[in-house]
Amino acid sequence: MNSIISFMKRNYKILIAVVCLSATLFAFNINSKKSIDPERDKLLLEILTFVIEKGHYNPAVIDDSFSKGVYKDYIAALDPSKRFFLQSDINEFSKFELELDDQLNNKDLTFFNLTYDRLMLRMEESKKIFKDILSKPFDYSADEDFNVDYDKAPYAKNSTELKEKWRKQIKLSTLSSFTDKQKLEEDKKLKEPNYVPKSDAVLEKETRESSLNSLNESFGFMNDLKRDDWFTLYINSIMSRFDPHTTYFAPEEKERFDVSMSGKLEGIGARLQKKNDYTEISELISGGPAWRGKQLEAGDLVMKVAQGNGVPVDVVGMRLDDVVKKIKGPKGSEVRLTVKKVDGTIQVISIIRDIVEIEETYAKSSVVDKNGLKYGVIYLPKFYIDFENKDGRDAGKDIALEVDRLKKAGVKGIVLDVRDDGGGSLSTVVDIAGLFIEQGPIVQIKSAGKKKEILYDTDKKIEWDGPLVIMVNEFSASASEILAAAIQDYKRGIIIGSKQTYGKGTVQNVIDLNQFVRNSSAGDLGALKTTTQKFYRINGGSTQLEGVSSDVVMPDRYAYLKMGERDEENAMPWDKIDPAPYSVWTNTSKFDQAIINSKKRIENNVQFKLIEENAKWIDSRSAENNYSLNIDKFKVAQNQIEETAKKFKPIVDYKNNLKFTSLPYELEGITKDPVLKEKRERWHESLSKDIYVEEALNVLDDLQPKAIVKASIPGDKKGKLVKS
């Protein structure tokens, strides 16, 4: 949930002191070409600690307790499954457990250098271990087990124990694949009596080969990581001790973050993935230059990259990030890709780069007919904004446009779905909430040691004054929570979903670290996303930890798992401030009854009861960490799980019998874009299987100004919809 609620443009004043200090007290000056990694790393630590101390809402004291936390988080991040380090390594590392605060203050890299060098050594040793293990068959008749609770597992005392841990870990993975393959062969034999099943020996060998390929790919990815990447991991073990949302962005990460916030980039419009030593085109982004060119295809392997008429550069074996850098570029420039097609032929494909919009980032809407009435469903994946271009797309403008389109389509109610929406721009929240109220406060902001600021919707125009439902879940965070809280406090709409939302009530700013350095030859230092403010509901309460409680709580399969802000170790505390002056929505005559009706439906709904039962089962399963490596016992355990899981299959198979369609403008676009057509069909299909959306629409029914009933009219055999 590291999506930022950025208030940068309006509220950058809170960091003005930091900027001033960067030009006076703390103006780093690097004139020489001492850009070797250690010097750059020390500079980076110095700037980060300075900016944190001056800019963070409530910076933690850097002491021995802080040091212990950094040590714990960093070691766990380096080796989460305890398959690299030995206990002797940990004994050596632990001498620094209470010294990391001093090393941070002194810009001392001793601990990082020690752990990095040791990890590289252990990783090389591990390659030999897993290759040796997978060179010979497993004995699945042996009676042994393996516990996957790595947090409680001890480190291996010696190399023999470590090899045994690797062996069991790999054996569990191959055993699962082996039994799956056996079942597939049995199913084929049942369908085709003449089919000759593969022998167990062949299947066993196949699972080891598959596991070896998977591990080689995994280690290939880790080998691609540079020392800087591991240092970023160390830095973020430090940053996260201030709060869960304070994060250092290396230059590439900052670029990715900007793309995720704006939903657009300049390039060819293709998603890439690593495939052994090759870079594979995994998907073409609809509407992008590669998609328009119709020459590049998913599955193509990129062999060489050339800039315009430049010399092609061989990219086989190159890091994925480095390949991406070569392919991306400014709008209007040419890139030539030498690719190996799926059929084995080699082609050189020229593409003129352009601005690419990532469609999945943006809001979308659908229309559904229910009980003779038309309703609109708007899905908002994040509160996006383009900080560099005020005329660019942002969530506020796009939701206003979708609302207008739905009004013109004649809808009688709107569901705004912000499930799984991790947040984004704070200014867009104010714009979106303002679409549904006349005017008034939307959110309160407080900076450390300063008076609160209230953000208002000042536009008296109401874009939508009809029935409104906001859908949330436990992954609705930050901006989603502000929106839900404002709508709830005004009693403007009904919030339905999980018991509570994520619980992130803090504001982050992204600070470019390069502004603090003069004449630097250290290169791009990246950026820091740090917590600078807290936001509060207009009723004075905070969403921090507590989130927003739904008016109507719907059973959730993951309700009992610990995944919210309240489960984060360094989360900031809950508090409250004085409320802002506001008046609740007056047109709420059916509001309370709609909530009562919905609760009754949920309570009596067989499907919801099954979801609740499934949630408790998932919670109980999460505590089971021990697996038998004996094939007979493993099969018995898996069969028991599968038998229980069959009971919950109706959850996946459920259909609400509602038909969702695109608005006219989109239907026109879909005829020219088969990729968009497929995406919309998939979305509409998922909506037609969604019991939560169905109940949201039921609530819209209950919120209608007058009840709608079917009545028989004399002379009308079909009957008509009439108001009563």
Report the distance separating Cα 504 and Cα 563, nearest Å. Answer: 12
pLDDT at 519: 67
Q: Are strands 346-352 and 334-340 parallel, antiparallel or unpaired?
A: antiparallel
Query: Taken in order 627, 630, 636, 638, is the CA torsion positive or negative?
Result: positive
pLDDT at 520: 65
Report the distance separating Cα 317 and Cα 324, nearest Å. Answer: 13
SS3 annotation, 396-422: HHHHHHHHHHHHHCCCCCEEEECCCCC
Rounded to the nearest 5 percent, the helix, strand and coil shares of the chain are 45, 20, 40
Report the distance separating Cα 621 and Cα 705, nearest Å. Answer: 46
DSSP string, 430-483: HHHHTTTSSSEEEEEEEETTS--EEEEE-----S--S-EEEEE-TT--THHHHH
pLDDT at 22: 31
User: Among 472, 707, 705, which residue's Cα sits nearest to residue 588?
Assistant: 705
Contact 323, 272 (CB under 8 A): yes
Whose tokens are 């991406």? That residue is 324
Contact 70, 241 (CB under 8 A): yes
User: At CA 203, angle to CA 198 and CA 205, rounded to 5?
Assistant: 130
Instruction: Please give the C-alpha separations between residue 4 and each of 123, 236, 374, 384, 424, in angstroms, as whole numbers.
Output: 34, 16, 35, 10, 5
pLDDT at 286: 77
Report the distance separating Cα 425 and Cα 292, nearest Å. Answer: 31
Report the distance separating Cα 235 and Cα 242, nearest Å. Answer: 12
pLDDT at 31: 35
Whose tokens are 């008296």? That residue is 460
Query: Residues in the chain, how many?
Result: 724
Here the tokens at position 607 are 């499907």
Contact 317, 277 (CB under 8 A): yes
User: Among 139, 137, 145, which residue's Cα sits nearest to residue 168?
Assistant: 145
pLDDT at 401: 97
Report the distance separating Cα 665 and Cα 660, nearest Å. Answer: 15
pLDDT at 551: 98
DSSP string, 464-479: --S-EEEEE-TT--TH
User: Among 677, 675, 679, which residue's Cα sits nearest to residue 288?
Assistant: 675
Contact 175, 629 (CB under 8 A): yes
Residue-range domain boundaries for the chain? 60-241, 264-357, 359-507+533-702
Give the global pTM.
Answer: 0.85
Report the distance separating Cα 258 and Cα 252, nearest Å. Answer: 10
Helix (H, G, I), strand (E, B) or coil at 611: helix
Instruction: Please give the C-alpha separations between residue 69 and each of 1, 100, 236, 239, 245, in angstroms, as whole numbers.
Output: 20, 10, 12, 11, 16
Residues (pLDDT < 70) of the chain are 1-37, 519-522, 707-724
Report the distance separating Cα 697 and Cα 22, nearest Å. Answer: 54
Report the distance separating Cα 653 and Cα 610, nearest Å. Answer: 12
Instruction: Please give the C-alpha separations between residue 389 and each of 4, 269, 363, 385, 645, in angstroms, as whole numbers.
Output: 18, 20, 19, 9, 50
CATH no., domain 359-507+533-702: 3.90.226.10
pLDDT at 563: 84
Which CATH architecture best describes the domain 264-357? Answer: Roll (2.30)
pLDDT at 456: 96
